[in-house]
Amino acid sequence: MDFRLSEEHRMVEKMVYDFAREQIVPIIKEHDRTHTYPHELVPQMAKLGFLGICLPCRYDGAGMDYLSLGIVSEGVEFGDSSCRETIAVHLGLHALPIFQWGTEEQKAEHLPPLARGDYLACFGLTEPNAGSDVGGLLSTARRDGSDYILNGEKMWITLADVAERFLVFAKTDPGRGARGITAFILERGWQGLTTGTIEGKMGVHASNTGWISMSDVRVPVSHRLGEEGEGFKIAMSALDNARYTVAAGANGVIKACMEASILYAKERTTFGRPIAEYQLVQQMIANMQMSLDVGQLLVWKAGWLKNLGIRNTRETSMAKWYCTDAARRSADDAVQIHGAYGYSDEYIVERHLRNTKSAVIYEGTSQIHTLVQAAYALGERVDRPMRCELPAYDPELWG
């Protein structure tokens, strides 16, 4: 058992942290204040290979493994959660499902422009009255010759109003519940497809969150992903990918909060002493370090399983649950260490605290993951093979 990152992984780590410090950090405060999406960062992330980091080179990806996806997610969220969300949604929730479930024709058509960052893509599952209860979604898809006609509403969709491609889910057989759900790839500009932005969020202000409306949208059969009725499986497998990036990104938040707290604690003095000398401050910083160490081990384990092509729903759920809760605690402690200054957006810890609240809600709430882990532990839940598994990493085929 070797816990050391390879030289290649270390290079990726340095590259992404340099990018976060030099490109994200200098501009993200203003985007957060103005609630504007940092479009200028997308070409840079694409150029560095982040938008296709774990896609094979034959699809214009970077040809790296899934552990590299975790490293990139951690480093980008060290800069800001909003930027990591782009990778989670564009790659984890849209491109990787096509890589896993798509025909070779679909992969050749859709993956290269996604990896190059020619346009952004999103994932439309949640609806106004269907979040954790995926089987309760009301969107419908009716077959009409060589097309499907889609109707429905999607809500709380990251990148909804800036994306050009949409992976959406609708019921082709409403009477079958979750087994009647089918996945479709939609394109902006199609008649009947409209989007909008949701205002007034607590955090992740620099990320676009919105809604998708489908009114008699005609979708070619060639844009159906997988078979009819496989939408629920496709959605769940996609969430395994996104939850992995969320967990890894949460570790980036912990690292950012710990770094900021150590710097501030050494400089800030009270009663003639740096506050770093006070044991209660040390306890909060030590807890951040413990959370980071545990969180990284959980993420690396999930990434290792992904590289082997082994289903990792339980491990990824555990990583997402632990890391996001730990990031929220770490950000809260970081604000406490900074005192009144931590309550101001002049310091990054205030933004991280607001952002971490969303992470314990999206991609499955902490309560849902608690139930998932209990079901595994009690033997009430057992993973079964799917028709399509996420391909195991093969350096010869990926390169």
Catalytic annotation, residues? 363
Which residue, among 300, 314, 352, 315, has the nearest Cα to 69 in the 3D structure?
A: 300
The amino acid at residue 18 is D
**CA distances from residue 294 to 36, 44, 305, 396 in whole angstroms, order as listed:** 34, 31, 17, 32
Token representation of residue 145: 């010759």
- Write phi, then psi, for 383 (nearest 5 degrees): -75, 135
3-state secondary structure of 310: coil
What's the CA gap between 360 and 127, in Å, rounded?
A: 18
The alpha carbon of residue 7 and the mean position of all alpha carbons in its chain are separated, in whole angstroms, by 25
What's the CA gap between 95 and 99, in Å, rounded?
A: 6
Mark residue 347 as left, alpha or beta (left: phi above 0; alpha: psi -120 to 50; beta: remaining): beta
What's the CA gap between 64 and 1, in Å, rounded?
A: 21
For residues 157 and 210, the answer to whether their CB atoms sit within 8 Å is yes
What's the CA gap between 261 and 333, in Å, rounded?
A: 9
Long-range contacts of 40-48 (CB under 8 A, 24+ apart): 41/83, 42/86, 42/117, 42/120, 43/117, 44/19, 45/19, 45/76, 45/83, 45/86, 45/87, 45/117, 46/115, 46/116, 46/117, 47/117, 48/15, 48/16, 48/19
What's the CA gap between 336 and 349, in Å, rounded?
A: 10
| Sequence-separated (6 or more) residues with CB below 8 Å from residue 159 | 85, 86, 89, 90, 120, 121, 122, 207, 208, 210
Question: What proportions of the chain, in percent to the nearest 5, are helix, strand and coil?
Answer: 60, 15, 25
